[in-house]
Structure 1
Amino acid sequence: MTKIAAMEEGQDLAVRVKGLTVAFGAFHAIDDVDLEVGGNHLHFLIGPNGAGKTTLIDAITGLVPYTGTISVGGRALARMTVQDIARFGVGRTFQTATVFERQTVVQNLDIALRGGRHWASLLTLRREVPERIEEILEIIGLAGHADELAGVLSHGQKQWLEIGMVLAANARVILLDEPVAGMTLDEREATGELLRRICPDRVVMVVEHDMDFMRRFADAVTVMSRGQVLVEGSVEQIQANQQVQDTYLGVAEAV
């Protein structure tokens, strides 16, 4: 079996989706979607419940079957397994952070750094914290919590740790599913600043319902409705679009 090589620094990282359809029986959760997301900015994906936002990132990460094409960095993902896609450099977070709560923050990052979330990587303890982990601790704002168990972190801190694990796995494309859901105002602000720190030289796509957060941090926005792309543009263009105002929750204030 050919080993999947990770994307390289400076490589064109754009995510390109063409004619994407995801069907569950007769229901099309995604219906013939075209989308391109480039790097070096925060691209938000918004829309009402059931619009297909999470299904889209599930397709990109190999979790659901689809028709159409998805490519990252010019390489088609269709024949890759979930594990291959992750090794290639596509990482994601979930609405509920999936961290090892009985391990320390450093140990969680070390698991990801060693190439996967595998318990065997805990059997060999390092004498020193690798420089890359120290860098990530600073990036995610958890340097002061390095030796704490992940289970005692706040909700927001667990989300930051999961982002850190994606960074430790060397993901160049990062897909985040409602990263600020349930966070305090201060945690949401800190999360936005964290996303700004990691977006240079990466593709960062954020599925989000928090419109204040979107207004504050989005560089580009794609609005989905009923499994299709409704409109794309800047925050200002999205807010001024009458079709978005009429469709997304039915009120202009929704965006």
Structure 2
Amino acid sequence: METIDEVKNDIAEIADHLASMGWSEANAGNISVLLPRGINFDPGENPKSYHFLEPVKVLAGRTILITATGSRFRRMKRDIDTQIVPVTITEFGTGALWPSGYPSPTSEIGTHIQVHALSPDLGWDTSAIVHTHSTKMLALSSGDLPGEMLQDAVERAHPEISILMKKGLAFLDFEPPGTWELGTKTKHEFGNANAVVWRKHGILGFSRDLEMACDYVEMTEKAAEILLLEQSAFGGFLGLKDKELETLRNDIAQD
């Protein structure tokens, strides 16, 4: 079981990687990890707080490490002690507390809290969320094609989507960022998806560990790049044909 400092280092490594890919301009993107039960952080006296619009009782008493609002991924390794915030859910799951000496967590905290609440039902004692503004998917999702059509195109574009992302991905139409409502809709989509695309905004990956959450973001972005290249070269999306996709999925089901 990793210590809090080790998890902070893991977050900083992923943040640095995303920055090197050009997917976290300025203070874009956010990352969080729900710590296993038994690893908690005392917010101390006079903590800062965030009130939930509805209780999240399943996370009561749990601690989440989450990147701070305004944090820059390219500086995360250097600013690790101030830009990763230990947030503790209150006793009755009605809000979150963090030490007064820390900055506020990302404005997307409502999404992170609600999505992590899926973890117990999945049998996970810990979970991770990676959100970034990857360039190709931001461009691809900005068009007028219906989300269902984009989802089908992405799943056909890259065999790894079917192999490694058993639940696939989902698209959410554009919503104002940083709202509790956006988190509620995102949680709903993650009930049957490994990655969720916020159209005209970015990608979120959700898994039981940081590496896999980042993998989901990378695979989704690679698929978007392939689709844009196909569209440029051939005037439309190509990807796996029905028979090829069926064969691939049947092979996976037999493993």
> What TM-score range do you get, normalising by the shorter chain?
under 0.3
Query: Per chain length, whose mean CA-contact separation is higher, i.e. which structure has more relative contact order (CA < 8 Å, sep 6+)?
Result: 1
Give TM-score scaled by structure 1 length. Answer: 0.27
Q: Which has the higher strand share?
A: 1
Give TM-score scaled by structure 2 length. Answer: 0.27
Q: Which has the higher helix share?
A: 2
